């Protein structure tokens, strides 16, 4: 009989960012398991302290902030303009994305009251301000935002209630250029974050219809859509 980590041990290993292989280990006895846990906890805790020392004494910034800076500079070099929009979103703007009371994503939204919520995505605000920018700026209009979004998604290692999203929007390109443009922008983003081994896949979204996803191994890390569509 194989003995696995206890619930508390597994929780602690998750907190210390243990590898998948470590978390999936099994043992022949409780004593062997507990001895292994103490060993891994000591090693992983030391690694965490080392990372904190690097943050304090060298980088001075969290890795996500460094990544954000790389993305901002890459997009600015490609003629995008950074914007910042409110975290609190009106129900009306969400409904313009087809997410009404009957939509399957409605239950994932953090509602503040019957008219306002924490934004589950950046697109509604970006589309809203685009209407004014398309009046006063020459096309193509290119804007982007990096910010927190909130969803009551399924629990698991790949889902968080709060996450940071990048959304870029470009208006005014000829139809025949749009697929090539998505490939180019995917390359800009992936180069900025240092991911080389990615691929593009066509799929379908409950909000945007036909989309093109950026896949890294079996993980979807981005999704793109091309207009015109029902939104």
Mean pLDDT on 60-65: 94
What's the pLDDT score for residue 97? 86
Task: Express each pLDDT in 123-149 by its tens digit.
Answer: 999 999 999 999 999 999 999 999 999
DSSP string for residues in 165-220: EEEEEEE---GGGHHHHHHHHHHHHHHHHT--S-EEEEEEETTTEEEEEEEETTEE
Residues of the chain with CATH 1.10.287: 7-59
Q: How many CB atoms lie within 10 A of CB 65?
A: 11
Mean pLDDT on 74-89: 97
User: CATH fold of 7-59, please?
Assistant: Helix Hairpins (1.10.287)
What's the pLDDT score for residue 103? 87
Banded model confidence at residue 104, pLDDT cuts 50, 70, 90:
confident
User: What's the whole-number average pLDDT of the chain?
Assistant: 92
Whether the predicted pLDDT of 156 surpasses 90: no
Half-sphere exposure of 43 (CA within 13 A, CB side): 11
Mean pLDDT on 75-89: 97
Residues of the chain with CATH 3.30.930.10: 63-224
Cα radius of gyration rounded to whole Å, the chain: 22
What's the pLDDT score for residue 158? 60
Mean pLDDT on 163-186: 93
User: CATH fold of 63-224, please?
Assistant: BirA Bifunctional Protein; domain 2 (3.30.930)
Whether the predicted pLDDT of 154 surpasses 70: no
């Amino acid at each position: 009989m194989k003995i696995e980590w206890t619930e508390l041990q597994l929780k602690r290993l998750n907190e210390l960012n243990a590898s998948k292989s470590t978390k999936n280990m099994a043992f022949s006895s409780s004593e062997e398991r507990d001895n292994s846990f103490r060993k891994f906890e000591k090693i992983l805790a030391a690694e965490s302290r080392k990372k904190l020392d690097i943050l304090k004494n060298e980088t001075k910034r969290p890795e996500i902030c460094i990544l954000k800076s790389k993305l901002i500079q890459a997009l600015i070099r490609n003629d995008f303009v950074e914007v910042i929009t409110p975290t609190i979103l009106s129900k009306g703007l969400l409904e313009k994305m087809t997410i009404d009371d009957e939509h399957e994503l409605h239950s994932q939204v953090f509602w503040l009251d019957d008219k306002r919520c924490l934004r589950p995505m950046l697109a509604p605000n970006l589309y809203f301000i685009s209407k004014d920018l398309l009046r006063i700026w020459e096309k193509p209009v290119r804007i982007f935002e990096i910010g927190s979004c909130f969803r009551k998604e399924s629990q698991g290692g790949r889902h968080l209630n709060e996450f940071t999203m990048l959304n870029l929007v470009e208006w005014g390109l000829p139809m025949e250029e749009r697929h090539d443009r998505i490939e180019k922008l995917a390359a800009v983003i992936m180069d900025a974050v240092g991911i080389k081994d990615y691929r593009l896949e066509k799929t379908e979204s409950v909000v945007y219809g036909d989309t093109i996803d950026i896949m890294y191994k079996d993980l979807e890390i981005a999704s793109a859509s091309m207009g015109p569509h029902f939104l």
